[in-house]
Amino acid sequence: MSKEHANIKKEKKPWPTKDAMEQIYDKNLWGGEVTYYSGEGSHDPLIIQPYINAITSFLTSFETPLIVCDLGCGDFNVGKELIPYAKKYYAIDIVSDLIVHHKKTFKTAQVEFHCLDISQDDLPLGDCAIVRQVLQHLSNAEVQRILVKLTSFRYVILTEHLPEGDFIPNKDIIAGQGTRLKMQSGLDIVAAPFYFKVKERKVISSVILPNSKGIIVTSLYTLF
CB 37 within 8 A of CB 30: yes
In our burial notation (b when 16+ CB lie closer than 10 A, e otherwise), range 124-155 reads eebbbbbbbbbbbbbbbebbeebbebbeebeb
Give residue-wise pLDDT tens across range 56-113: 999 999 999 999 999 999 999 999 999 999 999 999 999 999 999 999 999 999 999 9
- What is the overall mean pLDDT for the chain? 93
Please give the backbone phi and psi of residue 23, each rounded to the nearest 5 degrees, phi first. Answer: -65, -35
- When the candidates are 1.20.1050.10, 3.30.70.20, 1.10.167.10, 3.40.50.150, the CATH number that belongs to 3-222 is 3.40.50.150
Q: How confident is the model at residue 11 (pLDDT cuts 50, 70, 90)?
A: very low
Q: Provide mean pLDDT across the span 198-209.
A: 98
**Structure-model confidence comparison of residues 14 and 159, the more confident one:** 159
- Extents of the domains making up the chain: 3-222
Q: What is the pLDDT of residue 15?
A: 58
Mean pLDDT of 159-185: 96
Q: pLDDT > 90: what percent of the chain?
A: 91
**Has residue 6 got a pLDDT over 60?**
no
Give me the mean pLDDT over the 19-39 stretch: 92
**Residue 18 has what pLDDT?**
94
Distances (CA, A) of 109 to 65, 88, 97: 15, 8, 21
What sections of the chain are H helices per DSSP? 3-12, 17-26, 45-59, 96-105, 140-150
> Is 50 exceeded by the pLDDT of residue 4?
no
pLDDT of residue 35: 85
- At 196 the pLDDT is 98
